[in-house]
Amino acid sequence: MLKKLWICGALLCTGLFHGQQKETAVDTLEEVVLIDSKFKLKRENSGKVIAKITAKELEISSGQSLPEVINRVSGIEINGTRSNDGQNLGYYVRGGRNRQVVILVDGVQLSDPSAISNDFDLRLLPLDQVASIEIIKGASSTLYGSGAATAVINITTKAPLDRKIGMQLQTVLGTNQTQNNANYNIAQFDNSVGISGKLSKFDYQVNFSNRHSENMSSVASNNENENFEDNPFSKYNVYARVGYKISEKLKFYFYGNYDDFESSFDDAFMYADADNILESQQFRTGSHWVATYKNGSFIFSDSYSELKREIKSGFPSKFDSKVYAFDTHNKYIFNNKFHTIVGLNGVFSSFNSFSIPFGETEFAQTVDEDVAEFNIIDPYVNMVYISENGFNLNTGARLNIHSEYGANVVYNINPSYNIKLKENNLKALASYSTAYITPSLYQLYDSTYGNTALNPEESSTIEAGLEFSSDVLRLSAVYFNRDTKNYIDFVTVDPVNFISEYRNIDEKFNASGLELELDYAFSEKLNMKTNYTFTEAEERFALRIPKHKVNTSLNYAISADSFLSLKYQFNDDRTDSFFDSETFESEEVTLKSYNLLAFYVSHRVNEYIKIFGGLSNITNEDYEEIYRFNTRGRNARFGLVLTF
């Protein structure tokens, strides 16, 4: 099988030298940013260093998952992306945790009130439906509400094609194996089909995708003679949208979305083979309205979601949650200098949970949505001032009105100064931002670990940095320092009787670090993107967070139709913890550093057909993301895209 795959790869590479190409190297400069102000601003006028993952970068990631792509951004470590597809994800941004990251899809916040950290599961979203991603790091609660303490990830979905009807089909076949498994069997399948178009004032879009993988167990065996069974993962997604342009100044669309996945997993407590199953479903619907007028626009977006999860194991449980979120804001520009936002954001959440009591066979309700619910209503204002002499200021405030915790104010002040150096720009920036993180419904009301006496976390972040940009080069350096008080931690109250709960801890938690980014275009065909992150988090809270991390990609357009990319990632030593079943104590262990090398190649045969392939972990590096859990070894993938 290995020989056949290498032959296919050789054929793909041979095909590179024929035909002409429309795919070019990844852009080194993204001129327009939106996420840090909700306005389209030139990068030189933004007071932040914004990470933007473009459509071209997403295109060369076909066959990968959405978390894998985001994991290449500086300051971000999404733990679990290199493991079995069903592995739970940890969002470690600037030394933070899942509950400190806000995820938006088309500008509306998504969450799961039944999850421990209220975080949305990125495994639910298919990469093939994504048009671009913007990421702002640091406290952003002023614009994006509770939870935006370390990052906001805004995912923009693809818009309908600008013709009566268009169709794209994509299929990807790949291997899915660990470092000690070299059978190279096809064990990962990705398929998608999308139909969209515009008819007069109407536009429409329907997408379907599915992913299936097998051939890997989640937990690694310590015994060479003991083979754990595979833990397969399967998901499918359906998305539909219809829009209408009433006039040049008023348009809207409605959408509906269904995501479903099922994953098998092992016993992580005893590190034993098991037939556990996790099933998760999400139904989401909503709308987006835009009314424009002279010097401004009014925007309303909303989303209603129902999520269900069931865990089939020796400790079976069920969860279901509901969340309605909306954001409405008015944008107005005074004299091209003052960009103002006045908005209102609301989130209404609740959840139920069920488990089977010891000795019984039927589920009983343990948490009721009539109790486990809260509402957040936040009015906010924000202003961007752009002067003629290079000085810019982004500042604002939000009043967080919580049904359980009353009112709390967060704010930000973000000055920057842009110096013109002939055709180049040098930008100095600084910011001070506060964030407010309310406990999740699970942390408050879970029947086993919940604690209704919890207080919200509060944090403040200081940033300072420089960014130089020209036609061929962008170089930036940003220092950050974040203090958090009332940190919510999982605390063992009674070790003898194994009683634990969520509690606020007295110590102040600090995380600091440095992010360096370099984008350089050697020529129109060849460019390089690289970033380095240094993160210093206090030892107690630094589990699975690398102190040093490097990402590099080298991208080359061989011709007008042929493209290749080489990617490298280094992750430093990390600490992890595990429960020792012999001593009944939590132990710490050091996970060794590792290097990953990946290759991608694509060739457009004609205007309708594109073929591509890639190798990940080329050196077959043996490493761990999570103690005693498997990671992927050398794997290959091959794909075909048909566009009509």
Q: What is the DSSP string of 366-398?
A: EE-TTTSEEEEEEEEEEEEEE-TTSEEEEEEEE
Backbone angles phi and psi of 234, in degrees to 5: -145, 135
Q: Which residues pair with 175 in a beta bridge?
A: 186
- Whole-angstrom Cα distance, residue 105 to residue 93? 19
At 507 the pLDDT is 86
In this structure, what DSSP letter does residue 16 have? G
| Residue type at 480 in one-letter notation | F
Query: Which residues lie below 8 Å from residue 348, measured CB to CB, with a gap of 6+?
Result: 323, 324, 325, 373, 375, 376
The average confidence (pLDDT) of the chain is 91
Q: Which residue has the higher pLDDT, 51 or 11?
A: 51
> What confidence tens digit (pLDDT) does each residue in 287-306 have?
999 999 999 999 999 999 99
3-state secondary structure of 67: helix
Length of the chain: 644
Distances in Å between the alpha carbon of 576 and those of 270, 285, 579, 590? 16, 39, 11, 6
Domain ranges of the chain: 2-643
At 513 the pLDDT is 97
- pLDDT, mean of residues 313-323: 95
3-state secondary structure of 415: strand
Neighbours of 113 (CB within 10 A): 26
Decide: residue 260, CB within 10 A, 0-12 exposed, 13-18 middle, 19+ buried.
middle
Q: Evaluate if residue 172 carries a pLDDT over 50.
A: yes
- pLDDT, mean of residues 618-635: 96
Backbone angles phi and psi of 441, in degrees to 5: -60, -35
**What are the helix and strand counts (H, E) for the chain?**
5, 36
> What confidence tens digit (pLDDT) does each residue in 473-508 have?
999 999 999 999 999 999 888 877 778 899 999 888
- pLDDT, mean of residues 540-564: 94
- Whole-angstrom Cα distance, residue 412 to residue 434? 6
- Whole-angstrom Cα distance, residue 240 to residue 480? 40
Q: Which of 219-223, 319-323, 451-455 has the lowest mean pLDDT?
A: 219-223
- pLDDT, mean of residues 538-553: 92
> What confidence tens digit (pLDDT) does each residue in 65-101 have?
899 999 999 999 999 999 999 999 999 999 999 999 9
The answer to whether the CB of 174 falls within 8 A of the CB of 132 is: no
- Whole-angstrom Cα distance, residue 333 to residue 322? 37
Residue 11: pLDDT band with limits 50, 70, 90? very low
Q: Evaluate if residue 347 carries a pLDDT over 80.
A: yes
Most distant pair of Cα atoms in the chain: their distance: 77
- To the question of domain 2-643 being in CATH 3.30.360.10, the answer is no
> What confidence tens digit (pLDDT) does each residue in 389-431 have?
999 999 999 999 999 999 999 999 999 999 999 889 999 999 9
At 359 the pLDDT is 86
Share of the chain above pLDDT 70, in %: 95
Residue 616: pLDDT band with limits 50, 70, 90? very high
Which of 41-45, 223-227, 303-307 is the most confident on average? 303-307
Q: Evaluate if residue 3 carries a pLDDT over 70.
A: no
Backbone angles phi and psi of 438, in degrees to 5: -80, 150
Residue 23: pLDDT band with limits 50, 70, 90? very low
From the list 86, 112, 97, 103, the residue with the least C-alpha distance to 353 is: 112
Residue 460: pLDDT band with limits 50, 70, 90? very high
Query: Which residues lie below 8 Å from residue 159, measured CB to CB, with a gap of 6+?
Result: 131, 196, 203, 205
- pLDDT, mean of residues 165-173: 95
Backbone angles phi and psi of 43, in degrees to 5: -55, -35
Residue 638: pLDDT band with limits 50, 70, 90? very high
- pLDDT, mean of residues 260-268: 93
DSSP code string of 107-161: TEEE--TTSTT----GGGS-GGGEEEEEEEES--HHHH-TT-SSEEEEEEEPPPP
From the list 259, 363, 262, the residue with the least C-alpha distance to 318 is: 363
Q: Evaluate if residue 40 carries a pLDDT over 90.
A: no
Q: What is the pTM of this model?
A: 0.91
Q: Evaluate if residue 18 carries a pLDDT over 50.
A: no
Task: Read off the tokens for 208.
Answer: 């379907």
Decide: residue 164, CB within 10 A, 0-12 exposed, 13-18 middle, 19+ buried.
exposed
Which of 17-31, 121-135, 555-569 is the most confident on average? 555-569
Backbone angles phi and psi of 7, in degrees to 5: -65, -45
Task: Read off the tokens for 109.
Answer: 């916040």
- Whole-angstrom Cα distance, residue 99 to residue 90? 10
Q: Which helix (H) or strand (E) holds 7?
A: helix 2-14
Q: Give the 3-state secondary structure of 440-509.
A: CHHHHHCCCCCCCCCCCEEEEEEEEEEEEECCCEEEEEEEEEEEEECCEEEEEEECCCCEEEEEECCCCE
- pLDDT, mean of residues 614-627: 96
At 31 the pLDDT is 60
Q: Evaluate if residue 12 carries a pLDDT over 60.
A: no
Between CA 472 and CA 477, with CA 475 as vertex, the angle to 5 degrees is 170
Q: Which residues pair with 328 in a beta bridge?
A: 300, 344
At 21 the pLDDT is 35
The answer to whether the CB of 96 falls within 8 A of the CB of 145 is: no
Backbone angles phi and psi of 618, in degrees to 5: -55, -40
From the list 471, 357, 341, the residue with the least C-alpha distance to 398 is: 341
- Whole-angstrom Cα distance, residue 74 to residue 439? 27
3-state secondary structure of 21: coil
Decide: residue 308, CB within 10 A, 0-12 exposed, 13-18 middle, 19+ buried.
middle
At 24 the pLDDT is 37
